[in-house]
Structure 1
Amino acid sequence: MSVDTSQPIAHAFTAARAAGRSLPAYPGTPPATLAEAYAIQATAIARWPDAVAGWKVARVNPAFATQFPEERLIGPAFAANVHRVGPGGTAQCPVFDGGFAAVEAEIVIVVAEGAPAGKSDWTADTVAPFVQSMHIGVEVASSPLATLNDIGPGAVISDFGNNWGVVVGAEIPHWRELETIAVETFIDGQSVGSGKVAIKPGPLGALAFTLNKRAQQGQVLKAGDVISTGMITGVHDIRIGQQSRHVFAGCGELQVQITRA
């Protein structure tokens, strides 16, 4: 995808995000390849007036695996959208009215140190030294475009990975002793999903993927970056004014209050 093609798409998404407004349709032709999608993402990041403070990670839907042949995708988490809350705390998180909005219970990793440049063969077995801490958390997924996820991974990547918040909750100090963590998500008091996350293939695998992807992009992770490592209980649609609660068995819980971007 040429710069002339990626620029208008990046401009449309960033302008809508800055204004807190929705988009009626994808602003152009959705990217057909990973290279095109990440080119738009890079252009949009360069346009956004905030520092990247970490990354969200998500699985690529198997239905799109042939067109987008990577197991995961990443998108930037900006400093203003990283919310740290204490045990049992509530984060105030904005979403786009008329756009896509969802909450996802996730494990969040805080990166311990910068990675060596150019190394792109990290695995779940080798990334533990880069974990400063592991936390219970939530990704707040939101885009000005309500149908972003339906269009596919290329569209998701192009619009900041459909991210508009990473909530960093209580630390899990004993994560090295755990194989799995059971999690349940509630919205306005009603259970909407439950699941278990396996620490090594899940969070550590997501960290390895992010290290490798950024190295392939000629970049590195920095100490203090947050990595939101992938949904555990599902992707749960949520509306402005609603509140979600996320319970991580034996590790704590946190809440998210949804506000208008």
Structure 2
Amino acid sequence: MSATQAIAEAFTTARAAGRSLDAYPGTPPATLAEAYAIQAAAIARWPDAVKGWKVARVNPAFATQFPEERLIGPAFAPNVHHVEAGGTAACPVFEGGFAAVEAEVVIVVAQDGPAGKADWTADTVAPFVKSMHIGVEVASSPLATLNDVGPGAVISDFGNNWGVVVGAEIANWRELETIDVETFIDGASVGTGKVNIKAGPLGALAFTLNKRAQQGTVLKAGDVISTGMITGVHDIRIGQQSRHVFAGAGEVSVRITKAVGR
């Protein structure tokens, strides 16, 4: 078994069993190509359909080694949670692993991307937005130190994603430049931020369209794109609840549960 396949097997086996890992299972990928090769191998091993993608910024400290502004990871169909306005989603995380919530804008894709076209920008992607929603990414990995290892490690383990919560629609997003957002955990404010619709969500959508084209495939109509954290990455534990308030657009909550074996 190649190193790529061995790392993919270790992460997917741990996720399927709902258990943690004590260390990165091998040598962390040193390049984007290596990282996405492991991710592709892991996706191929996982039985669920990919229903979308999480997007995150690459830490500037790693920009020389991983020279792209963002990274992506798959969101699988059972981990995409649609909730009504003001609703709460129950989302699992890996006990003993990494677990965090991030307030994010989520885009539902309107149409399949054209094959081979990889020059999309935030100014040209609006036709691919079926709807824009308030939402949450639930980041979780069997490896508690995944983020510390670096972007290559994050990419290799499904982008550190284990949930995308799709909340109320932001019907007037075309008229907005920014939205103020605040995150609470168990009632206590843990972070505030402001999302710029063009640079943030639309930029993330453009990046994902381009990345998937470069990978020889396309985004699909109905895919969900979790477009990047707004108030920060907030550690959370099993049994806790987070609430994410998007000024003028509503709020959405998440209750954290324990991931169990499949």
Same fold (TM over 0.5): yes
Query: 2:143 & 2:2 partners in 1: Cα distance?
Result: 22
Query: 1:40 & 1:28 partners in 2: Cα distance?
Result: 12
**Structure 1, residues 155-209: CA drift from partner, whole Å, max 9, x if none?**
0000000000000000000000000000000000000000000000000000000
User: Which residue matches 1:184?
Assistant: 182
Q: Of the candidates 107, 110, 113, which is equivalent to residue 108 of structure 2?
A: 110
Query: 2:30 & 2:167 partners in 1: Cα distance?
Result: 36
**Structure 1, residues 92-147: CA drift from partner, whole Å, max 9, x if none?**
00000000000000000000000110000000000000000000000000000000
User: Which residue matches 1:236?
Assistant: 234
SS in 2 for 1:250: coil
1:148 aligns with 2:140: no
**Structure 1, residues 204-230: CA drift from partner, whole Å, max 9, x if none?**
000000000000000100000000000
User: Which residue matches 2:215?
Assistant: 217
**Structure 1, residues 33-70: CA drift from partner, whole Å, max 9, x if none?**
00000000000000000000000000000000000000
Query: 1:116 & 1:157 partners in 2: Cα distance?
Result: 24
Structure 1 residue 24 displacement after superposition: 0.2
Which structure 2 segments of 5+ residues have no match? none
Q: Of the candidates 9, 12, 15, which is equivalent to residue 14 of structure 1?
A: 12
User: Which residue matches 2:193?
Assistant: 195
Query: 1:255 & 1:67 partners in 2: Cα distance?
Result: 36
Structure 1 residue 5 displacement after superposition: 1.1
The one-letter code of the counterpart of 1:157 is: I
User: Which residue matches 2:243?
Assistant: 245
Query: 2:8 & 2:180 partners in 1: Cα distance?
Result: 38
1:61 aligns with 2:59: yes
* Runs of 4+ off more than 6 Å: none
Query: 2:156 & 2:113 partners in 1: Cα distance?
Result: 25
1:171 aligns with 2:169: yes
Structure 1 residue 259 displacement after superposition: 0.0
SS in 2 for 1:87: coil
TM-score w.r.t. structure 2 length? 0.99
Which structure 1 segments of 5+ residues have no match? none
In angstroms, what is the RMSD of aligned CA positions?
0.5
TM-score w.r.t. structure 1 length? 0.99
The one-letter code of the counterpart of 1:212 is: N
Query: 2:181 & 2:83 partners in 1: Cα distance?
Result: 18
Sequence identity (%): 86
Structure 1 residue 252 displacement after superposition: 0.2
SS in 1 for 2:2: helix
Query: 2:193 & 2:154 partners in 1: Cα distance?
Result: 24
Number of equivalenced pairs:
259
Query: 2:113 & 2:91 partners in 1: Cα distance?
Result: 30
